[in-house]
Amino acid sequence: MILVLGGAGYIGSHAVKILIESGESVVVVDNLETGHLASVNKKAIFYQVDIRDEEALTAVFEAHDIEAILHFSANSLVGESCENPLKYFENNVYGANVLLKVMRDHDVKKIIFSSTAAVYGEPKIVPITEESETLPTNPYGESKLMMEKMFKWSDAAHGIKFVSLRYFNVAGADKSGDIGEAHTVETHLIPLVLQVPLGKREAISIYGDDYPTKDGTCIRDYIHVIDLIHAHLLALNYLRAGNESNIFNLGSGSGFSVKEVIEVAEEVTGKPIKTLIAPRRSGDPSVLIASPEKAKAILKWEPKHTNVREIIEDAWRFHINKPNGY
Ligand SMILES: NC(=O)c1ccc[n+]([C@@H]2O[C@H](COP(=O)([O-])OP(=O)(O)OC[C@H]3O[C@@H](n4cnc5c(N)ncnc54)[C@H](O)[C@@H]3O)[C@@H](O)[C@H]2O)c1
Ligand SMILES: O=c1ccn([C@@H]2O[C@H](COP(=O)(O)OP(=O)(O)O[C@H]3O[C@H](CO)[C@H](O)[C@H](O)[C@H]3O)[C@@H](O)[C@H]2O)c(=O)[nH]1
């Protein structure tokens, strides 16, 4: 049995669907703070539980024979984390503490964890390898780095093996259009851009056009959620094969600017997208591009949907299908 924490969220709901399609039995735990019950595949067993509730989490571990955990549950808004850092340490770090305690007490030894490119902060060298310095510029990234260290020391003391996957910019949606990214508070570029052709937003603000990039706007590495989840399945096999704990970047290795994303979204939707030039958003690095070479070499991961047009087409299919979310 695989336990998916945060399985009602954007990325977690895709993981649940793909795990079930690949023949796994899945239990989902989610407190529904930002997730949607309707996004959880009906073949999964669902518990509305907060991972910080040790008693309730223990009951889930006692009800099921859990082999491995995919841990997506967290707060993950960079701006909010700067305004309310303690919320991030409370949910992400304390939540991991409770989880590791329950794992230790129930002899569960495998966990795959959602980390982030935000652990690197402003990179000195691009593309970013796993050896790059980790200097987060916001409490969200700091909380994820702290969690990585908690996993490292829990491995040393209790033999809990982990794979930490440092995601770059996750986007796109399942090809069915049934599940996708539907956050009540949306901060991510692609879903916000698509709100304009959906008629839900007048214009998209471009946060800064004076960066030292080819068109002055920030460059990011967009990774399709389906490719991202396939890396989790490979990480699960990696741990099942008895390998050591490890950390991998997950990105496509190529970058697209904010303006390029908007242009492609205009082509995909067939509608003009009005833009406004806004001030830079604080803490935004100009260029974030992953080196995915380690995941390719060790996990044998090969992202297949790296074209930003395909990523936007798949996101658009979901938004057309569910214009008001779940
Ligand atoms: N979306 C990205 O581009 C991106 C990039 C890097 C890392 N990540 C990480 O990936 C993970 C998933 O991100 P997402 O975009 O799907 O976010 P999301 O908010 O859609 O999903 C998180 C889920 O966890 C649940 N949750 C939060 N706190 C919980 C708690 N204490 N107990 C139980 N459930 C809880 C929420 O209700 C939600 O369903 C997060 O850990 C995030 O930090 C996301
Ligand atoms: O309305 C908007 C929203 C975003 N942007 C720009 O679009 C780019 C992408 O922004 P997102 O908010 O979509 O993503 P981030 O790169 O800020 O952050 C994401 O990727 C990070 C790692 O790269 C972390 O993992 C973080 O959790 C995740 O939200 C940035 O340059 C941002 O300034 C705009 O111009 N206008």
Q: What is the DSSP string of 15-73?
A: HHHHHHHTT--EEEEE--SS--GGGS-TTSEEEE--TT-HHHHHHHHHHS---EEEE--
The closest alpha carbon to 156, from 114, 227, 104, 214, belongs to 104
250 CB within 6 A, ligand 2: no
Q: Taking residues 128-142, report their average pLDDT.
A: 96
Residue 117 DSSP symbol: G
- ipTM for the complex? 0.97
The radius of gyration computed from the CA coordinates of the chain, to the nearest angstrom, equals: 19
Tell me the one-letter amino acid at 179.
Answer: I
187 CB within 6 A, ligand 2: yes
User: How many residues does this entry show for the chain?
Assistant: 326
> Over the stretch 81-116, which tens digit does the pLDDT of each residue have?
999 999 999 999 999 999 999 999 999 999 999 999
74 CB within 6 A, ligand 1: yes
10 CB within 6 A, ligand 1: yes
Mean pLDDT of the chain: 97
Pocket test for ligand 2, best of 75, 113, 169 (most atoms within 8 A of CB): 169
How far, CA to CA in Å, does 134 sit from each of 149, 280, 283? 12, 23, 15
Can you tell me the distance from the alpha carbon of 76 to that of 116, in angstroms, rounded to the nearest whole number? 10
Q: Taking residues 301-318, report their average pLDDT.
A: 97
Q: What is the pLDDT of residue 17?
A: 98
Residue closest by Cα to atom 27 of ligand 2: 76
101 CB within 6 A, ligand 1: no
Q: What is the pLDDT of residue 155?
A: 98
Can you tell me the distance from the alpha carbon of 224 to that of 260, in angstroms, rounded to the nearest whole number? 17
* Contact between residue 134 and residue 86 where contact means Cβ atoms under 8 Å apart: no
To the query of whether residue 140 is one of the catalytic residues in this protein, the response is: yes
Q: Which of 10, 88, 120, 140 is catalytic?
A: 140
| Closest ligand 1 atom number to CA of residue 51 | 32
225 CB within 6 A, ligand 1: no
Q: Taking residues 56-65, report their average pLDDT.
A: 98
Confidence band of 26 (pLDDT split at 50, 70, 90): very high
> Over the stretch 215-241, which tens digit does the pLDDT of each residue have?
999 999 999 999 999 999 999 999 999
Pocket test for ligand 1, best of 13, 14, 30, 252 (most atoms within 8 A of CB): 30
Which residue is listed with tokens 């047009």?
309
Q: What is the pLDDT of residue 283?
A: 82
Q: What is the pLDDT of residue 272?
A: 97
12 CB within 6 A, ligand 1: yes
245 CB within 6 A, ligand 1: no
Confidence band of 282 (pLDDT split at 50, 70, 90): confident
> Over the stretch 153-199, which tens digit does the pLDDT of each residue have?
999 999 999 999 999 999 999 999 999 999 999 999 999 999 999 99
> Over the stretch 260-272, which tens digit does the pLDDT of each residue have?
999 999 999 999 9
| Closest ligand 2 atom number to CA of residue 258 | 7
- Residue 19 reports pLDDT greater than 90: yes
| Closest ligand 2 atom number to CA of residue 278 | 35
| Closest ligand 1 atom number to CA of residue 8 | 39
Share of the chain above pLDDT 70, in %: 100
Residue closest by Cα to atom 42 of ligand 1: 76
Q: Taking residues 50-75, report their average pLDDT.
A: 98
Pocket test for ligand 2, best of 77, 205, 276, 281 (most atoms within 8 A of CB): 281
